[in-house]
Amino acid sequence: MAVFCNKCGKQLVWGALALAIACLVFLAWYLGVSRPRAQDEAACEAARDAIGKAGWQAYLSEYPEGSCAAQAREGLAAIDKRQDQIACKRARMADSEAGWNAYTRERPEGVCKAEAEKRLAELATAERERFANVEAERKAAEEAAKRKSAEKETNGKAGENEEMKIDWVYSRPAGIRFTKSEITVLQYRACVVAGKCTKPNTGKYCNWGKPGRVKHPINCVDWNQAKSYCEWVGGRLPTEKEWEKEASNGGKRKYAWGDEEISCDYAIWGDGSRTDGCGRDSTWPVCSKPRGNSVSGLCDMSGNVWEWTSSSCKSGSSAGMVRGGSWYFDNPDYLRTSYRLGLDPTYRDNFSGFRCGRVSR
């Protein structure tokens, strides 16, 4: 009997020990499975509560095969689709070359790809037609201007017809055409005579109405006057980026001519040692400093007059950007291709003028 009880006791001990081991093994397995699952579920819940792509992207980076992976990918696809639709709606509202080009850059395979391509083609056709019409108007105005004897300058009419012509130069860095020079008094006068532009301000340093200034850049004009003229000749004001790409040769030049230090050999500016305008106390005729030409042969991109662009100072600001420096200031930084200056678009002064741009044909 004692032997039996001794054996029975040993069996109970071994049984209890085996049961304890089994429980420990089960507990280890349970903790190893349930804890990661709980973490996965918590991360999934956090991703659902987050707004935008960040939550689902964070979840997938940590749990690429998690319980919510399919839901995360569907959520990201839905967000991307909504953003695509918003971008398309924005482009439709703008309905401009810039707006549709921005959409195709952001969404090359977007839902509105076909619509964007169609509208870009239609807008390009409309601009070509508009250019043909305004070119005809401009030529008619040139003929009218030649007949206006009251508009004669002291240097007479000789050569005025040639000087009124617009010389468009293609810029490879910017991908558009620019007028080779800043718009002259004579060129702007044709637009005034045609009734498409308003007269600039007059004053001591304004070129309008000054004898002998027909080849000088028009100055004392505001942003709207510059815009009206460029549209009349079949173009537009260049954007700030387009202007800088040409002036700097795609970021390679400090000044329009290169990196050589500024002097009156290259640009008309207030050189600090003499009267402003390299000793003349005024602007100079356009293209007087060919050594200062830009990479495409454009004149006076640094100096003579600041040039209005179509760009604003910053998002939400009404200030318009002018670039290039002028005859009136002796700070060489103003003539750097990267320097930016914001002006009230209604501002007319002796140091601001413009040149035009247009899409390449």
272-325 pLDDT per residue, tens: 766 789 999 999 999 999 999 999 999 999 999 999 999 987 766 678 899 999
Residue 150, pLDDT > 50, answer no
pLDDT in tens, 154-170: 344 444 455 578 999 99
Residue 208, pLDDT > 90, answer yes
All CATH 3.90.1580.10 domain ranges of the chain, comma separated, are 148-359
Residue 95, pLDDT > 50, answer yes
What is the overall mean pLDDT for the chain?
83
Q: Supply 26's token pair.
A: 């089960």
- What phi and psi, each to the nearest 5 degrees, are found at residue 347? -75, 130
Question: 16 or 336, which is more confident?
Answer: 336
Residue whose tokens read 């028009």 = 218
Confidence at residue 174, expressed as pLDDT on a 0 to 100 scale: 94
| CATH superfamily assigned to domain 148-359 | paralog of FGE (formylglycine-generating enzyme) (3.90.1580.10)
Which residues have CB under 8 Å from 246's CB, separation 6+?
Answer: 171, 173, 174, 178, 294, 295, 296, 298, 301
Question: At 108, is the pLDDT very low, low, confident or very high (cuts 50, 70, 90)?
Answer: confident
Confidence at residue 4, expressed as pLDDT on a 0 to 100 scale: 47
Residue 262, pLDDT > 80, answer yes
pTM greater than 0.75: no
Residue 180, pLDDT > 80, answer yes
Residue whose tokens read 């909504």 = 82
Question: What CA–CA distances, in Å, run from 73 to 51, 69, 77, 110?
Answer: 15, 6, 6, 18
Question: 106 or 256, which is more confident?
Answer: 256
